[in-house]
Structures are given as C-alpha cells and as structure tokens.
Amino acid sequence: MVLLRRRSTTKDTNDSAVRAGEAAAAAAHASAPPRAPGEDGLPTRIGAAFFDLDNTVMRGASIFHLARGLYARRFFGARDIARFGWQQARFRLGGEHMGHVGDAQEAALSFAQGHTVEEIRVIGEEIFDECMSDKIWPGTRGLAQMHLDAGRQVWLVTAAPIEIATTIAGRLGLTGALGTVSETRDGVYTGRLVGELLHGEAKAEAVRALADREGLDLTDCSAYSDSANDIPMLTLVGDPCAVNPDARLRRHARAHGWRVKDYRTGRKAARIGLPAAAGVGAVAGALVAGTAVRRRVPGRV
C-alpha cells in the first residue's frame, strides 16, 4: 500500500481532489532524466508545460476512443457500451457537472475491474495506434515540441487512466503524464479510484504536487486547456493558454489577458457546433455498435 503525503485542505479544495492529485503525482514518472544546465547549448530548464488531453492535444474524448477499442475486444456488452456512450455525451454536453463526473467515474471503473495493470497497458498501446494517433492536433503538438526543444518538461494532465495517459505521453515523446489513478491489489484493478477522477480542482492538485516533487517554479510554467473546468490548473501557472477553448474559457481568457490558440477549422462551427455533434455522434455510435456486439465474454467485465 502506498502512503501519500497529505496536506491540509481549504474550503475550495475537497479531500478527494487532493488525494487524487497527490496519487497522480506519485504515479507519474519522467520518461527521461532532466538535462543538465547548459547541456547541448540549451538554456537551463526553469519550468514545465502542462497540457490537457481531450480537445487540447487530441480531437475528441480519449476515454471514448478507449471504450471503442475495448468494445472491439469484447470488454463490453450492448447495454454497457450504450450506457457508456450516453454518460460520455452527457459529461460533454451538460457542462461537466459533478453528478455527470460521478457517472463518468463509474463507467471508467467498470472496464478495468478484475483485469491486470499489464493487460490494460498493452491494450492501451494498441488502441492508441489504432484509434488515437491520427487525432492529435498538429498545432498543439508543435507547442509541446517547442517546450521540449527549450529543455523544459512537458506533462499531460488528464482524467484518462494514468496507464493510458502515460502511453500517449510516451508515443508523443513527452516527459510523462498525470492521470486518474485506480486502486490495484497484486497488480489487479479493484474497481475503486484513489480519490476521484483527475478533473477540475484535482488536476490543479496534481500539478502542485508534481511541482513540489520536481522543484518547479509554477510562475515559470505554462498550461494549456480547452475547458473552463481547467481554470484551476491554468490559474496556477505564470503562462496560461486557452487552446480550442469552449465559450466560457474563451471569455475568461480574454477577461484575464491569457493567450488563446484555436487550431480548429471553421471557428464558429468548432466553438458552438462540434461539441454537440461529437456528443450526439458518441451516443449514436455506441447504440449502433451495441446492436452488433456479442454477449459479454464469461469472466470479463
């Protein structure tokens, strides 16, 4: 059992979010050692960059792409995939209210319980290559590479499971990832989370904990996200940037003088139409897929 350092919470930060953030930081591992000061003629690293995943680095919801890949491997029955698709659509369309986050949490847990960490890690690598690799925003990828070239750490910060988030970070050549941590026993998922989904305030807690561990000065760090739900994380750093922002984040960014980057084509359609279209498409795709799925494999989740 891993014991996590706990700190006092404030009225704005619930205990579950702190626990999730500290668990994410404890599970995060850099893919390469930091460069020495001045090595290869590069400047000394004084900070890091933190990137949200869904609709910031990758088009669409990573957890839905994961669900599609798991469906193809018969992890889900017809009712499961339909329910999962509906919950994900509600999560996106309903403003990501905490009740919807709870539903998404339940769905996220359902696929892993009883499976081994190694099994999910290998499947995650396969699913990234099959379903996710062609959905990376080139513009955001370029921003990440700019930070890497400057000798800075670059971390994904996402509600996706830490195993999947780490795979994506590795495939993109990033430093590492902060993601949702699930409880395991003897290398097998129990079906419970450590804390909660890495979402909203929990992301900010993860970034704080990682900064403490890595000795980062957050005023010299950057953060990128598409969602107003990530304002707590964006507010932590000295250089926040809204990428492909939703309407609420765009307003907030403009009011506070933050940078805004939009890599979508047809800005008005992207800002207003695509979230709804993506959500409806997720439901339709899940329901259509469900009609063809075979019975759940005995012994599978």
Dihedral of the alpha carbons of 265, 269, 272, 274, in degrees to the nearest 10: -70
Q: Give one DSSP letter per residue of 66-133, joined into a string.
A: HHHHHHHTT---HHHHHHHHHHHHHHHHTT--HHHHHHHHHHHHHTTTTSBHHHHHHHHHHHIIIIIG
State the catalytic residue, choosing from 12, 15, 40, 54: 54
CA distance 63 to 106: 13
Nearest partner of 140 among 208, 222, 221, judged by Cα:
222
Q: Sign of torsion, CA 34 40 46 49? A: negative
Is 54 assigned a catalytic role?
A: yes
Helix, strand or coil, per DSSP, at residue 156 = strand
Q: Give one DSSP letter per residue of 230-280, joined into a string.
A: GHHHHHHSSEEEEES--HHHHHHHHHHT-EEE---SSHHIIIIIHHHHHHH
Is 262 assigned a catalytic role?
A: no
Read off the amino acid at residue 21: G
Tokens of 21: 């953030």
Nearest partner of 53 among 153, 147, 108, 132, judged by Cα:
132
State the catalytic residue, choosing from 12, 15, 52, 226: 52
Residues annotated as catalytic (active site), given as ranges: 52, 54
